Structure 1
């Protein structure tokens, strides 16, 4: 399934930290940043999550909810969130339903071996539930600032 800028993002529900379920359609009226990261508690993912955490008030001011997604189980996500003081929900996508929804499972190489894993990606969904922006193959430094600027611009144009 391919997502296209300007097209509605199909609804989904997924288990998240805090013993909650996130349902995309219930977030209508707010912009949503969904960022996919390969694995909880690894260096790049910790840095990226910290960058989102540190800018959460600016995202809030831009009417934007932050959601992090990986294939880790809920316990790993809860531990990651607690240890890093993340102030947003992390989704556990062990069955890769949400990952498939956004087509972020890619063939990757590590130490010369190929495996399927999450390609670090971020999606910005507008308040009407349409895809406004996407970043694939993300490099962590400076990324969150770029996403924040896009969220602020989108909110300003409402």
Structure 2
């Protein structure tokens, strides 16, 4: 069963950029915006990361921590983060541990082939670590504004 609205942050730790390991329950005390994306350095994923980067000050003003998650390695994340100057960390979920908690790895068609990939999704946890908002099958345009509007409702 995937995590649903009203449930707590899962007790998952993942390697992240900046030579860190992030234990999700340690994020309590601030709002957490957890966004999942398919792959580093692809057009949609780059645009989404840039949108979060370009609105980073607005998220900070709302005491919100942004974390991006994909199945790419920390090494790939470091290059992606550096190339686009993302001011937030990216988590490497190579074993799909966190992806499975949210049930976001789905069958997709790529060039006529069936593949498994991350369904672009965003989740907001409140300061107590409770899931309050979720967006699945995210379309990148205007998504960050939608997330910011939801943060206003949390305040």
TM-score range, shorter chain: over 0.9
Q: Counterpart in 2 of 1:2?
A: 2
Partner SS, residue 68 of structure 2: strand
Unaligned runs of 5+ in 1: none
Show the counterpart of 1:134. 134
2:15 corresponding residue in structure 1: 15
Given the two structures, how large is their TM-score scaled by the length of structure 1?
A: 0.95
Q: What do the CA deviations read for 1:4-29 (whole angstroms, capped 9, x no partner)? A: 11122322110000000111111111
In the TM superposition, residue 98 of structure 1 has moved relative to its aligned partner by 1.1
Equivalent-residue separation in structure 2 for 1:151 and 1:66 (angstroms): 12
Q: Deviations over 1:14-65 (max 9, x none)?
A: 0000000111111111010110000000000000000000111111111110
* Cα distance in structure 1, aligned partners of 2:142 and 2:132: 19
Cα deviation, residue 3, structure 1? 1.5
Structure 2 unaligned regions, length at least 5: none
CA RMSD, 1 decimal: 0.8
Q: What does residue range 95-114 of structure 1 map to in structure 2 within 5 Å?
A: 95-114=95-114
Secondary structure class of the residue paired with 1:46: helix
Q: SS in structure 1 opposite 2:78?
A: helix
CA offsets, 1:64-88, max 9 Å, x none? 1000000111111000000000000
What is the TM-score with the length of structure 2 in the denominator?
0.97
Count of aligned residue pairs for this structure pair: 155
SS for the counterpart of 1:26 is helix
Equivalence for 1:82: 82
CA shift, 1:112, in A, is 1.3
